[in-house]
Amino acid sequence: MLKFMNGRNICKTIVLGVEVILKILTFNGVYLPGYKAGGPIRSLANLASHLKDDIELYILTRDRDAGDTEPYENIEFNKWVKLTNEHVFYQKEKEMSIFTLRRIINCNDYHGVLLNGILSEYTIRYLLLRRLKLIKSKPTIIMPHGDLSRGALSLKNKKKSIYLKIAKILGLYDGLVWLATSDSEKNDTLKVFGRKDIVTIPNLPYHSSQNGNDFINIKEKGNLDVIYISRITKVKNLLFALKVLNDVKGYVNFNIYGPISDNDYWNSCQKFISSMNRNIKVKYHGSLPHEKVKLVFKRSDVLLLPTLGENYGHVIVEALSVGVPVIISDQTPWRNLSLRNAGWDIPLENENGYANAIQTLVDMDKEEFLKFKFGAKKYLKEVQKVSETKEAYTKLFKETYTS
């Protein structure tokens, strides 16, 4: 029997019979139809889609997109809603509290819990309730989702450092199963928590990621259409991207997409844009819904994202999947790109390396550039092993939640 919270009638039975599919409770600050919070949304949606025959995800989330002051339209709130592959509880902003979270957890019968992020509000509240033994004890898997990377920890460093020290003293993260999505994230977790029993399984891609060679953009020698799709914040390093572009000769269109998460940082970017060379044309388009990402990529030549750190980088994968080479930092799992004609992964200390990579693409004609477009798709196909990844997730969930 599975029970659910529904308005003031806290527990309502909606499923009877034998449970044959693992029912997993998880939390995310933003979920579909939201898109402004980036990667974690896609990670959950992809997981639900790929593993729909083995698990049912029950996702507790806010009633609005990141940064929005108004809730979603045409969405039922404070009750479980069935989407395509998952159940979602859109929690009204004014009713978000640790006590409400406790009621939702305790009145429902799940096999286990999946935590997204080390420092998310939902994760911290859940761990406090768990430590105080105010909720049912359930097997719990935690995914750092990049929170422990060098770049992420460098932002608000003092506040994060104090919290992590207190959390370790209280044992908030004891008894969890740790799941990293890359070797670098595993190493980051080891450095901060000293854990050695960390499972590593890569993220699952968007289901239609590797379909078609329908390239739209036809590059001309001496021209380049560069795109940036990500939140505008220090960790994504847009200002660095603008500076290296300013050293490039030829005609460059730089199209920026993404929500402004840090207004002061965006003001610094705008100030620099106003002084850039005339051969570099910059345009900010605002946030980009996920369903439009593929089309925008097809009209672009290269993704430029000198990020301070990504545990996966969904936007990088989507670029490669449609034949768009990438110029990124070496702080992601996507490495040795230049050897495969898929782009470049360059240390952030090497600003000239970024400018040289961009200049190389500017100077290419259509035939030369096509090698990189096909190279991008080929690289992704070779490094991603979707079937093996699905099996690894299924095995981990069954071993953790049914033991």
Same domain, 119 and 10: yes
Same domain, 155 and 235: no
Same domain, 83 and 43: yes
**Which strand (E) or helix (H) includes residue 298?**
helix 293-298
Burial of 169 (0-12, 13-18, 19+ CB in 10 A): exposed
Same domain, 246 and 319: yes
**Global pTM value:** 0.81
Distance (Å, whole) CA 35 – CA 326: 22
Which CATH number characterizes residue 96's domain? 3.40.50.2000
Q: Per residue of the chain (403 residues), give pLDDT as tens.
A: 444 444 433 333 334 445 468 999 999 999 999 998 888 899 999 999 999 999 999 999 999 999 899 999 999 999 999 999 999 999 998 888 898 899 988 988 899 999 999 999 999 999 999 999 999 999 999 999 888 887 778 777 888 999 999 999 999 999 999 999 988 899 999 999 987 789 999 999 886 544 555 556 678 999 999 999 999 999 999 999 999 999 999 999 999 999 999 999 999 999 999 999 999 999 999 999 999 999 999 999 999 999 998 888 999 999 999 999 999 999 999 999 999 999 999 999 999 999 999 999 999 999 999 999 999 999 999 998 889 999 999 999 999 998 7
- Is position 211 within any domain? no
Q: Which residues contact 351 (CB under 8 A, 6 or more apart)?
A: 240, 243, 244
Same domain, 37 and 181: yes
Q: Nearest-5° angle of CA 150, CA 156, CA 157? A: 55
Q: Which residues contact 56 (CB under 8 A, 6 or more apart)?
A: 21, 22, 23, 24, 86, 87
The answer to whether the beta carbons of residues 182 and 312 sit under 8 Å apart is yes
Q: How many CB atoms within 10 Å of residue 284? A: 17
Domain count, the chain: 2
Q: Which domain holds residue 153?
A: 2-203+385-401
Same domain, 34 and 173: yes
Same domain, 379 and 390: no
Q: How many CB atoms within 10 Å of residue 29? A: 19
- Is position 218 within any domain? no
Same domain, 194 and 108: yes
